[in-house]
Amino acid sequence: MVEAFQFPRTNGRTDFFHLDADDFYYPASATARYTIIEISMFEGRSIENQEALIRLLFERVCTQADRLPNEVEVTISETPKHNWGFRGLPGDEVGLNYKVEV
């Protein structure tokens, strides 16, 4: 996120959800090490930057977490700022310290 979107290192949130093996289904072409990365963010990033993020995630997850490309799935969901609430306000009313439109 920092590299692809010039996102400040001090911003953002990461949540990890572990599923028990009996509750996790993965494609027959993958192994139980299958990893799903879901990113929910404001709309505004260019397609090129989103694709750059996906490529970086595959490169780094496969290298640093010892995964094969078919063991990683990445999904980006974009939400209009006005549909996202945080800091007690709708997202389009929050003053951000970074640029969304990159």
For the segment 43-57, what is each residue's pLDDT rounded down to a tens digit? 999 999 999 999 999
**Intra-chain end-to-end CA distance of the chain, in Å:** 12
Domain containing residue 51: 2-24+31-93
For the segment 60-84, what is each residue's pLDDT rounded down to a tens digit? 999 999 999 999 999 999 999 999 8
- CB neighbourhood size of 85 (10 A): 12
Q: Is residue 16 included in any domain, yes or no?
A: yes
Global pTM reads 0.81
Report the distance separating Cα 74 and Cα 93, nearest Å: 29
Residue 18: is it exposed, middle or buried by C-beta count within 10 angstroms (0-12/13-18/19+)? exposed
Q: Total domain count for the chain?
A: 1
Report the distance separating Cα 41 and Cα 35, nearest Å: 19
Q: Is residue 40 included in any domain, yes or no?
A: yes
Q: Is residue 98 included in any domain, yes or no?
A: no
CATH number, position 74: 3.30.429.10
Q: Is residue 99 included in any domain, yes or no?
A: no
pLDDT for res 32: 86
Report the distance separating Cα 20 and Cα 5, nearest Å: 33
